Structure 1
Amino acid sequence: MKKENFETVCKDGITLKGILLIPENPKAVVQFNCGTGTKKEVYLSFLTYLADNGYICCLWDYRGSGQSSSDNLRHCDFTFSDYGIKDMPAIKTFLNQKFPDLPFFIVAHSAGGQQVGLMENLDNVKGVINFAVSGGYYPNMPLKYRIRAYFFFYIFSPLSVLFTGYVKARPFKLMENLPKKVVYQWRDWLEKENYFFDKKFYGKTVPIGQFKKYKFPIHTYWTIDDTISNEKNTKAFWKHVKSEKEISFTKLEPKKMGLKTIDHFGFFRRMMKDKLWVDVVKILNNMLTN
């Protein structure tokens, strides 16, 4: 397997950067869409495993974060929905051009799966596998985490924007630094049980997209101890999505897997190789042959 750095340009001129994990005899391409403000290295072990099983994996950063960060976040005008409307399609176009003859999959975590329906170019997608893809309605979160979320969105972020012009979260180990409009739009969606499907946003500030006309199978993993993507928030999101193929779910229970916790990011820890990743490859292989 070889690693290859790349960059590509969105239709609006924004440059995105990432890495490709390319096995010797690839059987398909995987576009991996990260969670919001998450270091992409969190996912590297998992994607290396997929690459070892024959899947070219593309790991990349959204505009305004990580390697794709702007030189001047203070004056950055990026929004959260730009991830799905502009960034994800640009990565897919790049991959389609680089590997035109290989089947195409999307594997996604959190916001990376929420916004797939905003992509304009889903024509050749064989299937999607998601981890912790849901809404994020505050009242459905455990109280302790809800307080943390309120602090981040309503106290820390506005103060950070006041003093720096953006959400300077990295020094406080909260997440990667983010443009202010990304965080503010995210915050607005979290206030609604139906997330961006709420009538306040959907069809207005958020395009109708392809959420009700997917043509591929979708499988979503969620865990009962996830503070964000719990059962209520998962159901609240997926009731708005339709596909011509099966939409299925796997509920994970940490104790039954011999684990103390999984929560929102535990899917990608190395210890999950035999407990979860093997199953993910089986599902990908099944989607590939059907």
Structure 2
Amino acid sequence: MLTTHAVTINCTDDVQLSGLLYRSKVAPIAAVMIAPATGIKQGFYARFAQFLAEQNIAVLTFDNRGIGASPKDHKIMGETLLQDWGQKDMPATLAWLQQQFPALPTHLIGHSAGGQLAGLMANATELTTLITYGSSSGCLRNFTGNYKYQAWFYMNVFIPVTNALFGRTQSHWMGMGEPLPKGVGAQWRRWCNGQGYAKTEFGTHIKQHYYDQLTQPALWIRATDDEISPQANMDDILSVYKNLNVTNKIIHPQEHGLRHLGHMSYFSRQGLPLWSEIVTWIKQHS
């Protein structure tokens, strides 16, 4: 029997995020926060969260500021930066989880940006492990084929134009989640035109980070058909997380009877055959 509770996560700057806690009636063996991809609402991860909760793992999902059920007022949409998700929203989410389950090991499961931004969390060293899917640097120069031109257009034409015309990045027009706060899209553009994702602005916009302080075990997963996260960009982001104890996992979808995984389907019902590996990892490190 599972329960799902709506929760409020208080950030240090008084922004209140929307979260959902999934758990079974049995005492949990571990606690997990699922950090979402850019512009993706927490509901996208509901089935995955339920699966983990069925294995007696408490799971907290959340919406970053400007996304989903979290605040979207004029100030949020006009002033939020991408780094705010890593420096404010994710640390607050982990702190809430630790307050609820102080005796349990805590794990971060990051999808794309959710894994990329973990090194900005002041409390990231308190995580037991990190698990990521599709978390790469997004460096434009490493993309190949037609996607290279699509990504360049999105970053260098679509983002600045929609920001200028609408005061936000209209990501949903391109099938990429919800509209993004203006500053999120602009900073994302700068990072993808550089190398090492957030490393692009170390010492300028980003005065403090923790990427090189993280030494815990990490499971870094990519699918061979994920054109958004080519191996070159996985290597690029891991060069920033230079002290993590990383286990790389490359998934060939056809070997699991799957036609496609790409950047998103791992967390859909299609990815169900692969989720037991996450449970095994968490149990081994709890």
SS in 2 for 1:16: strand
Question: How big is the shift at 1:208?
Answer: 4.3
In the alignment, which residue of structure 1 is the partner of 2:276?
278
Question: How big is the shift at 1:123?
Answer: 4.4
Kept in 1: contact 2:224–2:252 (CA 8 A):
yes
In the alignment, which residue of structure 2 is the partner of 1:65?
67
Q: Structure 1: which 5+ runs fail to align?
A: none
In the alignment, which residue of structure 2 is the partner of 1:30?
32
1:216-240 CA-partner distances (Å, limit 9, x unpaired): 2111111121112111100111022
Alignment of structure 1 residues 78-227 onto 2, 5 Å? 78-170=80-172, 173-198=175-200, 201-227=201-227
Question: How big is the shift at 1:277?
Answer: 0.5
Instruction: Give the letter aligned to residue 41 of structure 1.
Output: G
Kept in 2: contact 1:126–1:216 (CA 8 A):
yes
SS in 1 for 2:25: coil
Flag the 1:22–1:242 CA change in 2: closer, same or farther, 3 A: same
Instruction: Give the letter aligned to residue 221 of structure 1.
Output: I
1:185-238 CA-partner distances (Å, limit 9, x unpaired): 00000011332224xx12322244221121421111111211121111001110
1:256-279 CA-partner distances (Å, limit 9, x unpaired): 2222221111211213222x1011
In the alignment, which residue of structure 1 is the partner of 2:4?
3
Instruction: Give the letter aligned to residue 261 of structure 1.
Output: H
Farther off after superposition, 70-79 or 222-231? 70-79
CA distance in 2, matches of 1:142, 1:148: 10
In the alignment, which residue of structure 2 is the partner of 1:251?
250
Kept in 2: contact 1:130–1:219 (CA 8 A):
yes
CA distance in 2, matches of 1:27, 1:168: 40
1:4-61 CA-partner distances (Å, limit 9, x unpaired): 0011221111111111101112111101100001132221111111111011111101
Question: How big is the shift at 1:82?
Answer: 0.5
What is the aligned-residue RMSD (CA, Å)? 1.8
Residue 287, structure 1, aligned to residue 265, structure 2: no
Kept in 2: contact 1:73–1:178 (CA 8 A):
no
Instruction: Give the letter aligned to residue 258 of structure 1.
Output: G
Alignment of structure 1 residues 41-52 onto 2, 5 Å? 41-52=43-54
Flag the 1:139–1:172 CA change in 2: closer, same or farther, 3 A: closer
Instruction: Give the letter aligned to residue 13 of structure 1.
Output: D
Kept in 2: contact 1:132–1:229 (CA 8 A):
yes
In the alignment, which residue of structure 1 is the partner of 2:263?
264
CA distance in 1, matches of 2:229, 2:220: 11
CA distance in 1, matches of 2:230, 2:170: 28
TM-score, scaled relative to structure 1 = 0.92
TM-score, scaled relative to structure 2 = 0.93
Flag the 1:2–1:154 CA change in 2: closer, same or farther, 3 A: same
Kept in 1: contact 2:125–2:213 (CA 8 A):
no
CA distance in 2, matches of 1:32, 1:209: 20
CA distance in 2, matches of 1:195, 1:158: 18
Kept in 2: contact 1:70–1:76 (CA 8 A):
no
1:133-178 CA-partner distances (Å, limit 9, x unpaired): 1111112223322222233223333332233211233356332011
